[in-house]
Chain A
Amino acid sequence: MQGFAEEFRVAMGLIVSGDPELWAIVLLSLKVSLLAVLIAACIGMPIGAALAVGRFPGRRLVIVLLNALMGLPPVVVGLLVYLMLSRSGPLGVLQLLYTPTAMIIAQVLLVTPIIAALTRQTVETLDIEYTEQLRSLGVSRLASVPVLLWDGRLALLTALLAGFGRAIAEVGAVIVVGGNINHVTRVMTTTIALETSKGNLALALALGAILVGIAFVVTALVSMIGISREREVLHHA
């Protein structure tokens, strides 16, 4: 891998010097993935909580299905979204194909099962501990959901980060529905795929290192917020 160090220095230089092209790509990646995780959380957490607290026929099956969906191949999701959003597809009139919105939709589909499944697990574990006490306090099953979600907030934060990790690192879906269009839908991972196909392996690796760095910074920031909150509660503050 000759020239990796040099390429990495060049790539880092672009980041540090605020190269508008590279920064636009980085910001679009963050925008798409953070928004996707936010939406997936709005959908996945209530589903997970409902599965944890609710009792209905077929519940076990839904849980197994949800766990299986965590391993959904991004390319398959990309294809499904493409078929939906293509001008020949049922949602073609919305003109969303090859837009960041299409990428967000694809990532929402990828991330929602992860957040829902991890939420289900977190809430169910907590519910076993809390259920008698909450009933004793007159809290209904429905009203116990927000209590369980709030008290499971640290584990749920981890679920969100797991979802974010999947979203930001994923290429198979966004390249199909986004089209990797320069200045429009080009994100970190599709740029890496493009540079790899150009044979610029060192540059691709350097961009990959930057992607890891960005994911690290986001994860660290979110974790710090979580930990400092916990500490505030733990030690007077």
Chain B
Amino acid sequence: MMKRWLLAAAVALGCVAGAGQIQAKDGFIVVQSTTSTQNSGLLDAILPSFETATGIEVRVVAVGTGQAIRNAMNGDGDVLLVHAKPAEEAFVADGWGVARRDVMYNDFVLIGPDADPAGIGGGDDIVAALRLVAAAQAPFASRGDDSGTHKAELRHWMSAGINVAEASGSWYRETGAGMGATLNIAAGMGAYALTDRATWIAHGNKDGMRVLVEGDPRLFNQYGIVLVNPAKHAHVKADAGQRFIDWLTGDAGQAAIAGYRLNGQQLFFPNAGD
């Protein structure tokens, strides 16, 4: 069986090399990032100016933070751009990354159905709001995918003293999907959900849903950037990757982040200089 796969791979290689059309170019880096940076349209908006300035093409693979970190550990990327600070710091501490830099932040918001069955009403206290959801046993859609957003959400449940693992499958529903897919599911079953504001604003399917809790300092969502350690993976394009990091955390990149607007709203706030 394995033999046949190898054969398939060999034939595919031969065919493609022969066709000579679908060849990978050099002069590019692979950035393992999260769905929020892609779904919000931020990277599509700011990357062209970097690519024109340097001639380095940036190829973005947008997955959950957990998967992005694992892909980076496998050496399948040159730069990691995610939002789960403890995991990023562990990534560097274990030698997978060179150094971590703050890039920007946005914030999380709790969204829910207009009918608001848990009676949250609004406000800025995420922990109190989650207690109300649990008390009402109102449906809550969680990413459940080890992403940065999922990790943040679990921290708030812990602060609220609620063990969601016990409620898993009843009112607490883990979608195991990306942010956008989870918002679609929340809209579909009238559930509450924690989402980053950028994805929420950019999301096209808000059907009967609104922001209920925002502005809590605990909802702060920090993005960090890390160069994958060339000492672990010799093929990492350290120079090009470092240029991208320097650009994104430098004046030009920070200005580009600050300048990105969707529906007239600023989604990300640069803070590399802080």
Contacts and interface: CB of A to CB of B under 8 A. Distances in A.
Direct A–B contact in complex, judged by CB atoms less than 8 Å apart:
yes
Interface of A: 31-32, 35-36, 38-40, 42-43, 47, 80, 84, 86-89, 91-92, 94-101, 104-105, 108-109, 112, 179-182, 184, 194, 196-203
Nearest to A32: B22
Interface in B162-199: 177-181, 183-184
B14 to A, nearest CB: 9
B16 A35 contact: yes
A199 B203 contact: yes
Contact of A199 (B11, B71, B75, B180): B180
Contacts of A198: 39, 180, 202-204
B76 A39 contact: no
Contacts of A180: 61-62
Given A43-B8, A197-B180, A95 B24 contact: yes
B206 interface: yes
Contact of B12 (A31, A104, A196): A104
A88 B74 contact: yes
Given A31-B21, A39-B11, A199-B205, A182 B44 contact: yes
A19 B211 CA distance: 36
A179 B24 CA distance: 14
B135 interface: no
Contacts of A47: 4
Given A87-B235, A98-B76, A182-B44, A199 B184 contact: yes
Given A38-B15, A39-B15, 11 more contacts: A40-B8, A43-B7, A87-B233, A98-B59, A109-B8, A112-B8, A179-B30, A196-B184, A197-B184, A199-B206, A201-B205
A204 to B, nearest CB: 9
Main DSSP-derived SS at the A contact region: helix
Interface of B: 4-5, 7-9, 11-13, 15-16, 19, 21-22, 24, 30, 35, 38-39, 44, 59-62, 71, 73-76, 177-181, 183-184, 202-206, 233, 235
B179 A197 contact: yes
A203 B205 CA distance: 11
18 contacts: A38-B15, A84-B9, A88-B74, A100-B16, A100-B22, A101-B12, A101-B16, A101-B22, A104-B22, A108-B8, A109-B8, A181-B30, A184-B59, A198-B203, A199-B180, A199-B204, A199-B205, A201-B205
A71 B148 CA distance: 34
A54 to B, nearest CB: 16
B132 to A, nearest CB: 26
A197 B4 CA distance: 35
A203 to B, nearest CB: 8
A86 B39 CA distance: 25
Q: Which of A100, A108, A196, A198 has the most chain B CB atoms inside 10 A of its CB?
A: A198
Nearest to B67: A176
B206 to A, nearest CB: 7
A39 B4 CA distance: 12
B75 A88 contact: yes
Contacts of B13: 94, 96, 101
A86 B177 CA distance: 22
B184 A181 contact: no
Closest 4 interchain pairs by CB?
A: A197-B180, A87-B75, A199-B205, A179-B61
Nearest to B178: A197
A201 B184 contact: yes
Q: Which of A32, A101, A105, A197 has the most chain B CB atoms inside 10 A of its CB?
A: A197
Given A39-B15, A182-B44, A201-B184, A99 B24 contact: yes
Given A87-B233, A100-B16, A197 B61 contact: no
Given A98-B30, A109-B5, A104 B16 contact: yes
A181 B35 contact: no
Contacts of A203: 204
Q: Which of B12, B15, B62 has the most chain A CB atoms inside 10 A of its CB?
A: B12
A8 to B, nearest CB: 15
A201 B74 CA distance: 34
Nearest to A2: B207
Nearest to A178: B61
A194 B44 CA distance: 13
Contacts of B203: 198-199
A96 to B, nearest CB: 8
